[in-house]
């Protein structure tokens, strides 16, 4: 069994339209995808400052109210 290829995600496009592509096959990839659906390379998003998931207040208490 061969090892899986690792690829950096790249940004392509111009003007008003930009999209993410696999660095190995240059096929379009979904935002934050782990694997390219075209060549099955493992994707690395290290070059992009991805937004952090914010904690959302749900109104739940961690301790019972007195």
Q: Given this model, what pLDDT does residue 1 score?
A: 45
Region 42-55 average pLDDT: 78
Q: From CA 45, how far away is CA 51, in angstroms rounded? A: 12
pLDDT in tens, 28-39: 999 989 999 999
For the cut 90, the answer to whether the pLDDT of residue 66 exceeds it is no
Q: From CA 12, how far away is CA 29, in angstroms rounded? A: 11
Q: How many DSSP H helices and E strands does the chain contain?
A: 0, 3
The fraction of the chain above a pLDDT of 70, given in percent, is 80
Each domain of the chain, given as residue ranges in start order, spans: 1-58
Q: From CA 5, how far away is CA 35, in angstroms rounded? A: 10
């Amino acid at each position: 069994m061969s090892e899986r290829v690792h690829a950096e995600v790249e940004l392509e496009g111009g003007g008003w339209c930009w999209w993410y592509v696999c660095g190995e096959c240059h096929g379009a990839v979904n935002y934050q995808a782990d694997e390219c659906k075209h060549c099955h390379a493992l994707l690395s998003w290290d070059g992009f400052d991805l937004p952090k998931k914010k904690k959302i207040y749900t109104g739940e208490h961690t301790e019972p109210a007195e």
